[in-house]
């Protein structure tokens, strides 16, 4: 996603929003907007899929605490490890090769796939924690505009649930939530 920010700066900002949500969660076993996921599962998803994805091309993140032992500690470790990759010119500029994405600079791969995933899951964790969603509407609109032309491909990947229809004039954050299969009206039960 091109926002004028470097991948390192964007990760720092987006991961910071997610970190704020992590700090505010009071019930890690509370439900999330993702069917069958608890709040802890939102963090677990981010700290488990990405290290394996990177390892497929020999990029190793140092192992950290398990989410089961503490979602906040697991998240903090992941943020620091990914930020270290992005802040090091030797690793950020390294070519990453993977059969589904081709060959791209590692920083671009992190930005397009991981940081964007963190951005979208910020909505899930904020809602699971009963917090306001901190996502910028313009950034949501830009992300949605880039994803909509790939609707069939994204949907067939199994990574997104069925699209939830929302009014065309709804805020972009709601339209993005609907696109990725979330009900924008979902709130954590009392």
First to last CA, the chain: 36
What pLDDT is attached to residue 150? Answer: 85
Would you say 81 and 38 are in contact if contact means Cβ atoms under 8 Å apart? no
Q: Grade residue 3 by pLDDT with cuts at 50, 70 and 90.
A: low
Nearest to 75 by CA among 109, 46, 100: 46
Which residue matches tokens 């704020």? 20
1 pLDDT more than 60: no
From the number of C-beta atoms within 10 Å of its C-beta (0-12, 13-18, 19+), residue 76 rates as: middle
What pLDDT is attached to residue 160? Answer: 82
Distance from C-alpha of 33 to C-alpha of 105, rounded to nearest angstrom: 33
Average pLDDT over the chain, rounded to an integer: 93
Please calculate the CA angle 40-150-9 and round it to the nearest 5 degrees. 55
Would you say 95 and 103 are in contact if contact means Cβ atoms under 8 Å apart? yes
What pLDDT, in 10s, does the model give residues 82-133? Answer: 999 999 998 988 999 988 778 999 999 999 999 999 999 999 999 999 999 9
Would you say 17 and 10 are in contact if contact means Cβ atoms under 8 Å apart? no
What pLDDT, in 10s, does the model give residues 31-70? Answer: 999 989 999 999 999 999 999 999 999 999 999 999 999 9
- Helix segments in 33-115, DSSP class H: 39-55, 71-87, 89-92, 106-109
What pLDDT, in 10s, does the model give residues 124-159? Answer: 999 999 999 999 999 999 999 999 888 887 877 777
Torsion of CA 38, 39, 44, 49, to 10 degrees: 80
- Among 16-25, 78-87, 152-161, the range scoring the smallest mean pLDDT is 152-161
**Tokens at 137, concatenated:** 């509407």
Domains of the chain: 7-135 (1.20.120.450)
17 pLDDT more than 70: yes
């Amino acid at each position: 996603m091109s926002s004028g920010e470097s991948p390192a700066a964007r990760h720092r900002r987006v991961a910071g929003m997610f970190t704020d949500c992590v700090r505010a969660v009071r019930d890690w076993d509370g439900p999330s907007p993702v069917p069958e996921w608890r709040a802890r599962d939102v963090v677990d998803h981010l700290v488990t899929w990405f290290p394996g994805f990177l390892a497929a091309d020999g990029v190793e993140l140092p192992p950290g605490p398990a989410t089961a032992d503490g979602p906040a500690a697991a998240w903090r470790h992941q943020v620091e490890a990914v930020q270290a990759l992005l802040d090091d010119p030797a690793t950020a500029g390294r070519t990453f090769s993977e059969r589904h994405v081709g060959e791209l600079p590692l920083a671009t791969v992190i930005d397009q796939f991981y940081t964007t995933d963190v951005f979208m899951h910020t909505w899930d964790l904020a809602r699971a924690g009963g917090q306001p969603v901190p996502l910028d509407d313009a950034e949501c609109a830009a992300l949605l505009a880039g994803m909509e032309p790939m609707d069939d491909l994204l949907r067939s990947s199994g990574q997104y649930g069925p699209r939830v229809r929302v009014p065309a004039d709804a805020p972009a954050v709601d339209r993005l939530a609907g696109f990725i299969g979330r009900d924008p009206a979902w709130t954590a039960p009392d």
